């Protein structure tokens, strides 16, 4: 009878996820030198088949996903470095707080590591990671008391161009306008306009349809245009 060898995740030391505040994914930094949070012990999976040696920096997302699912820490670290910055940008604009954004992304990577063996690849790795990040960010929003964003704050930012650079003032005003959007509209706008996801990918992240996504994006654009009309030339 053939003996089955334990897979690489069996007894594997917990991998580390960098902190966004110290050179990690918030600044697009590499894993090296970043403060790290240990992930929980991963589940046991089947033995990994023999795979060709590779440089993970040039590997496809699918190759990284399959290797990390079998416990390859270097592959998972490449996933963190490759997708962490975008996940952090999205989380920060969703929760409007740097600390909460870091926590959401940390939680998302912990969940990703734990569930990678069960991920069948029905969507892209990027879409899957955004889905987890959104869920973790919304969980944090539900735990935190919302901070109201009033029109007086928008007016103050619009007038700030007398003191600050106009471009910087507009970006500040845009951040405030985004914070005032309903969560779904904000998510759709960020995923489309900032992260350049397709309508199909956004629908997958939101567990919705492309028709709904297009409608939410249209409403988000209209709301932003109305809030930022003072910036029109």
Q: What percent of the chain has pLDDT over 70?
A: 65
Half-sphere exposure of 107 (CA within 13 A, CB side): 17
Q: Which secondary-structure segment (H or E) carries 78? A: helix 73-95
Q: For residues 15 and 39, what is the distance between their CA atoms, to the nearest angstrom?
A: 6
End-to-end CA, the chain: 78
DSSP string, 92-118: HHHHS-HHHHHHHHHHHHHHHHHHGGG
Task: Give the pLDDT of residue 132.
Answer: 96
Average pLDDT in the chain: 76
Q: For residues 19 and 119, what is the distance between their CA atoms, to the nearest angstrom?
A: 25
pTM: 0.68
Given a cut of 50, whether residue 20 has pLDDT beyond it is: no
Q: For residues 9 and 44, what is the distance between their CA atoms, to the nearest angstrom?
A: 6
- CATH code, 16-143: 1.10.1740.10
3-state DSSP assignment of residue 89 = helix
Please report the beta strands in the chain, taking only residues with DSSP state E, as ranges in sequence order: 16-18, 36-38
Give, in order, the Cα–Cα distances in Å from 189 to each of 43, 109, 202, 215: 36, 23, 10, 11
- CATH code, 151-231: 1.10.10.10
Mean pLDDT of 150-165: 42
Contact 56, 64 (CB under 8 A): yes
Q: For residues 34 and 20, what is the distance between their CA atoms, to the nearest angstrom?
A: 8
CA quadruple 14, 16, 194, 218: dihedral sign: positive
Task: Give the pLDDT of residue 17.
Answer: 60
Task: Enumerate the domain spans of the chain.
Answer: 16-143, 151-231
pLDDT tens string 161-176:
444 455 567 777 888 8
């Amino acid at each position: 009878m053939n003996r089955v060898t334990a897979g690489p995740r069996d007894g594997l030391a917990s991998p580390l996820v960098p902190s966004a505040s110290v050179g990690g994914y918030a600044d697009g930094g590499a894993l090296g030198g970043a403060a790290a949070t240990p992930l929980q012990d991963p589940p046991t999976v089947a033995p990994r088949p023999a795979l060709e040696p590779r440089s993970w920096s040039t590997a496809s997302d699918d190759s990284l996903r399959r290797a990390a699912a079998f416990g390859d820490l270097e592959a998972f670290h490449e996933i963190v470095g490759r997708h962490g910055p975008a996940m952090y940008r999205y989380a920060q604009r969703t929760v409007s707080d740097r600390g909460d954004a870091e926590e959401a992304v940390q939680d998302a990577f912990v969940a990703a590591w734990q569930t990678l063996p069960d991920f069948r690849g029905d969507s892209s790795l990027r879409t899957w990671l955004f889905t987890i990040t959104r869920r973790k960010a919304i969980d944090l929003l539900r735990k935190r008391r919302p901070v109201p964003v009033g029109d007086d704050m928008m007016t103050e930012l619009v007038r700030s161009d007398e003191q600050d650079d106009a471009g910087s003032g507009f970006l500040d005003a845009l951040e405030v306008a985004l914070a005032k959007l309903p969560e779904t509209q904000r998510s759709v706008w960020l995923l489309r306009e900032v992260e350049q996801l397709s309508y199909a990918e956004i629908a997958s992240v939101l567990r919705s349809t492309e028709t709904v996504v297009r409608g939410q994006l249209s409403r988000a654009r209209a709301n932003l245009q109305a809030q930022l009309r003072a910036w029109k030339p």
